[in-house]
Amino acid sequence: MNTIIPEWQDHSGSLNSQTSRLVVTIDGPAGVGKSTVAKRLAAHLGYTYLDTGALYRGIAWKVNARNVDATDLNQVAALLETTTLALHSGEDILSVHVDSQDVTHEIRNLAVSQLASTVAAHPPVREWLLSIQRDFADKGGVVAEGRDMGTNVFPHAQVKFFLDADPEVRINRRYHELQEGDQDKNRDNVQREMAIRDARDRSREVAPLFPAADAMMIDSSNLSIDQVLAKMTEVVAAHL
C-alpha cells in the first residue's frame, strides 16, 4: 500500500485563495535549479510542492539498504510489493518516509542519485509511482517537478515549463548543493555523475526526459533564480 500525505497549508491571503488551483509542471535535467524555483513558485502561489525525484530516490534508498540489484527489474519490482512511500509537505521542507522511516537527508547523496536514475528506467517502478503522483495533484494547486511531469504524469497540466542550462552551469549548481563534508563533494565526481545520469534519463524507453510539446522553454544559464521565477509567475498569472 502506498500513502502520500500532502499537509495542505493555510492558503488564506495567497493568490490561489481567490483563483483557480492549477497544476504547474517543471521538467528538466539535473542541476538546473528546478527544486529551488519549484519550491519558491509553490510558496508564492500557496500551492503544494511535489518533488517527484524524491519518490524515485526513496525507492533507490531502499534498494540500496536491502542490497537489491538496482539493474534487476524483477528484484526491484518485488521490493515494491512490501514498500510504503509517503511525502509530507510542510512549509519549508518536503520530507520523505520509506516504510515509515524518515530518509529525507539520506536520499540526497550522489550514490542515491545514480540508483534513483537506474530504478527510474524500470517500467514497473514508473507505473507504481504514477498513481501516487496523480493523487497528490487531484485537487490541483500543485507545482510538480521532475523529468516527465508535462509529458507523462500530468499531460493535461495547465502550465508546463522545461528548464535547461549549460552543463557547466548545472555542474556548478549541483556541486554547491551538496552538503559540506559529503564524501562525494568533488567537482569531477559531480560532473561524471551528472553526465551518466542525464544520458540515462534522456535515453530510457519509458517516459524519458524531454520537453512536452506545449512546455515553455527557459534557459536559466544566465538567469538568477529571481529572474526565472519572475518569468514563471508571469506565465502562471496569465492562466489564473
**In this chain, which of 53, 58, 141, 150 binds ligand DC, going by CB under 6 A?**
53
**In this chain, which of 21, 40, 110, 148 binds ligand DC, going by CB under 6 A?**
148
CB closer to ligand DC, 177 vs 240: 177
Tell me how far, at minimum, the Cβ of 56 lies from ligand DC, in Å.
3
Tell me how far, at minimum, the Cβ of 17 lies from ligand DC, in Å.
29
In the numeric block, which cell numbers belong to residue 114?
A: 545514480
CA 100 to chain centre: 20
Closest residue to ligand DC using C-beta atoms: 53
Tell me how far, at minimum, the Cβ of 57 lies from ligand DC, in Å.
6
Binding residues among 181-220 for ligand DC as defined by CB under 6 A: 197, 201
Burial of 2 (0-12, 13-18, 19+ CB in 10 A): middle
Nearest to 216 by CA among 229, 196, 235: 235
Q: Which residues contact 206 (CB under 8 A, 6 or more apart)?
A: 121, 123, 126
Separation CA 191–CA 207 (nearest Å):
24
Q: Which stretch binds ligand DC (CB under 6 A): 73-81, 143-151, 155-163, 179-187?
A: 143-151
Nearest to 62 by CA among 100, 30, 22: 100
CB closer to ligand DC, 46 vs 232: 232
Burial of 148 (0-12, 13-18, 19+ CB in 10 A): buried
Q: Which stretch binds ligand DC (CB under 6 A): 64-72, 109-117, 180-188, 211-219?
A: 109-117
Angle, CA 125 vertex, CA 140 and CA 211 arms, to 5°: 55
CB closer to ligand DC, 46 vs 117: 117
Footprint on this chain of ligand DC (rule: CB under 6 A): 30, 52-53, 56-57, 113, 116-117, 120, 146-148, 197, 201
